[in-house]
Structure formats: structure tokens, C-alpha cells
Amino acid sequence: MSEQKTIRLVVTRQDGPNENPYREEFVVPYRKNMNVISAFMEIQRNPVNAEGKKTTPINWESNCLEEVCGACSMIINGRPRQSCTALIDNLEQPIRIEPMNTFPVLRDLIIDRGRMFDALKKVKAWIPIDGSHDLGPGPRQSEEEQQWRYELSKCMTCGVCMEACPNVSGKSSFVGPFAVGQVALMNSHPTGSMRAQERMEALISDGGLQECGNSQNCVRACPKGIPLTKAIATMNRAATKHMFKKWLDF
């Protein structure tokens, strides 16, 4: 009988928001089709570290396990990404796992992404309909418009673009690439465009579009392949027009 195959993981842990991070190593039995999350689940059932010492299970966020809810972002082997699609077979070992510490770390891999949801409020990322009562069909849209909006609308607020962006940090107020994408999404809808200027104002205020340094990290990191740089370019052009118009109206 061959020896049981195992997986080695080195996890950066932290007991609380103000505690110091530390590393803990784990060895987990290998099975086919495993991802980082199923390795964590194995540790839950047998919370013992590589030294054979009893420890607490790792705390992390996840929900859908199919890369559509955005919960499970973390840094795996140096790269911010979703952990549910991080298949063990595709990862170099020991697998190094850290929290995305552009955000406040609450415990282990759990982070506070509240600023992203606040940003969505700030840029008014919604279609201002009159109400939810029955008002018949919405405006017609071409297949082409729908496909562009659909690409932008896949954003799951996972924060990977924020972690990858050199201009987002605990100190900077940059709303982040995802928020620009959401403005592009709302402004490209026939009803949404009626409030395009308001969103634009929010987007060029403090921490807005001008903070983007065009590193293009976001578009490479986005797990959903959202055309973020294209959205940023579109919004930059719109911002210039907006400023010019404001200047003319002045």
C-alpha cells in the first residue's frame, strides 16, 4: 500500500482585530477534487495542527462554494482570489493562505468589507424606479447593451480588485475599481442614465476616479473577468465631459 497522500497548508491566523497574526501549519489527507475549503472542512472535523497539537478550527467566510457569492476571498500563494475555486491539484505546496489585509482583519481569514457596501451607497448604485407597483415592461434594450451590462453586473463585491489595487489601502479613500464598474453599469441603463450626473459627481469627489493609477491589476485579478479597465476608461471619458459641461454651465 502506498502511503496516504497529504496536503500541507500554512495559514496566517489572528485571534482578534487587535491581536498579532501568527502562522499555523496543517497536514490534511488528500482526496480527489479537493479545494482549499474542503481542506478547511477536514480541519474542522479534526482540529489538530501539523505538530499534532489540538487547535481551534480555522475561521473563514464562504457560502455558495461556486464563485458566485463573493464571500470566500483570501490570499492564496500570494494571489488574492476566491478560495472555493482554488483547487488543491492546481496549487503549489505548502499552500500559503492569508487574509486580505487591505481590509481590517477580524479573525483568521475573516475580514470586514463594509467599506465596499458603503461605497455602493455613495455612488447610488441602483436604478431609481418610481416604485415596485405594476408599471408594465421596462425599456427595450439591444442584445449588445444587455451583454455589456451583464458583464459588469457579475460583480460580487468580493474585494479581490481592492486587494490587488495598489491605490486602495486602509489609509486611502479610493472607492475602488469595483465601484467604478457599478457606476458604468447603472449609467448604461436607460432609466439609470437619467441620474448619471449624480453618480458622476459622487465618482469624482474625494477618493474617486482620479485616485486610479492605471496599474490594471484589478482586471487581471477579478475572478469574474469583469472588464474593469474598460469601465474605468469609459467613466474617465464621461467624467471629462461632465467637467466640461459643468464648466460651460457655470
Partner 1 sequence: MNEKIIIVGGGLAGLAAAMKASETGARVQIFSIVPVKRSHSVCAQGGINGAVNTKGEGDSPWEHFDDSIYGGDFLANQPPVKAMCDAAPGIIYMMDRMGVPFNRTPEGLLDFRRFGGTKHHRTAFAGATTGQQLLYALDEQVRRYEAEGRVEKFEHWEFLSAIIDDEGVCRGITAQDLRTGEIQSFAADAVIMATGGPGIIFGKSTNSVINTGTAASALYQQGAYYANGEFIQVHPTAIPGDDKLRLMSESARGEGGRVWTYDKDGKPWYFLEEMYPAYGNLVPRDIATRAIFKVCVDDKLGVGGENVVFLDLSHKDPHELDVKLGGIIEIYEKFMGEDPRKVPMKIFPAVHYSMGGLWVDYNQMTNIPGLFAAGECEYQYHGANRLGANSLLSAIYGGLVTGPKALEYVRGLKKSSDDINSTVFEAAQKEQADKYDAMFKMNGTENPYQIHKELGEWMTDNVTVVRYNDKLQKTDEKIQELMARYQNLNMVDTLRNNNQAAPFTRQLWNMLELARVITLGALNRNESRGAHYKPEFPDRDDENFLKTTKAKWSPNGPVLEYEDVDTSLIKPRPRRYDVAKEGGGSK
Query: What interhelical angle do 143-152 and 177-187 show, nearest 10?
Result: 160
Distance of alpha carbon 195 from alpha carbon 204, whole angstroms: 15
Interface with ligand FES by CB under 6 A: which residues? 62-65, 67-72, 82, 84
Interface with partner 1 by CB under 8 A: which residues? 15-17, 31-35, 37-38, 41, 44-47, 56-57, 59, 61-71, 84-85, 87, 106-108, 110, 113, 117, 120-121, 124-129, 131-132, 134-138, 140-143, 146-147, 149-150, 153-154, 156-157, 185-186, 189, 191-192
Neighbour-count burial of 173, counting CB atoms closer than 10 A to its CB (0-12 exposed, 13-18 middle, 19+ buried): middle
Helix, strand, coil percentages, rounded to 5, for the chain: 35, 15, 50
106: partner contacted, choices ligand FES, partner 1, none (Cβ within 5-8 A by kind)? partner 1
Distance of alpha carbon 130 from alpha carbon 67, whole angstroms: 33
Q: What phi, psi does 23 have (nearest 5°)?
A: -105, 145
Question: Which of 156/222 has CB closer to partner 1?
Answer: 156
Question: Which of 82/234 has CB closer to ligand FES?
Answer: 82
149: partner contacted, choices partner 1, ligand FES, none (Cβ within 5-8 A by kind)? partner 1
120: partner contacted, choices ligand FES, partner 1, none (Cβ within 5-8 A by kind)? partner 1
Query: What interhelical angle do 196-204 and 177-187 show, nearest 10?
Result: 160
Q: Measured from the CB of residue 52, what is the shortest distance to ligand FES in angstroms?
A: 30
